[in-house]
């Protein structure tokens, strides 16, 4: 439950958009408060549902995985972090326009003119 509360509020894109739109103070407050509230909610739920979890856990077979953290898990975690960070950076390799593709059709021009009338293009972009 803690993860379900914390994850949407603290994903990298949400934090970067919050930082751009409202400032770094709000982004830091967002991640800090969502973490605090997530932990608090998880602790409250653990207290409320302790007896049910204890009976369920007593029926489970013991887990025998004493290997610790494997190198595959560390590589996966580092790759995931690299992808998340690279997705939010404005690197020329990631933002460069590589080419265009278009369909030649006689119906395309009237359809485009209709779309331009319905949804005018913002001149700022």
Instruction: Give pLDDT, residue 102.
Output: 74
Averaged pLDDT, 115-119: 85
Q: Distance between CA atoms of 104 and 27, rounded to whole angstroms? A: 46
pLDDT reading at 66 higher than 60: no
pLDDT reading at 30 higher than 80: yes
pLDDT range class, residue 70, cuts 50, 70, 90:
confident
Q: Choose from 1-5, 38-42, 109-113, 115-119 the range with maximum mean pLDDT.
A: 38-42
């Amino acid at each position: 439950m803690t993860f379900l509360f914390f994850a949407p509020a603290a994903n990298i894109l949400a934090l970067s958009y919050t930082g751009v739109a409202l400032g770094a103070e709000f982004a830091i407050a967002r991640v800090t408060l969502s973490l605090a509230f997530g932990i608090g909610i998880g602790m409250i739920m653990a207290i409320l549902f302790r007896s049910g979890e204890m009976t369920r856990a007593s029926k489970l077979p013991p887990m025998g995985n004493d290997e610790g953290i494997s190198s595959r898990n560390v590589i996966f975690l580092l790759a995931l972090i690299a992808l998340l960070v690279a997705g939010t950076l404005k690197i020329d390799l990631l933002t460069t326009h590589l080419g265009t593709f278009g369909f030649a059709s006689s119906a395309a021009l009237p359809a485009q003119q209709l779309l331009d009338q319905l949804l005018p293009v913002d001149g700022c972009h």
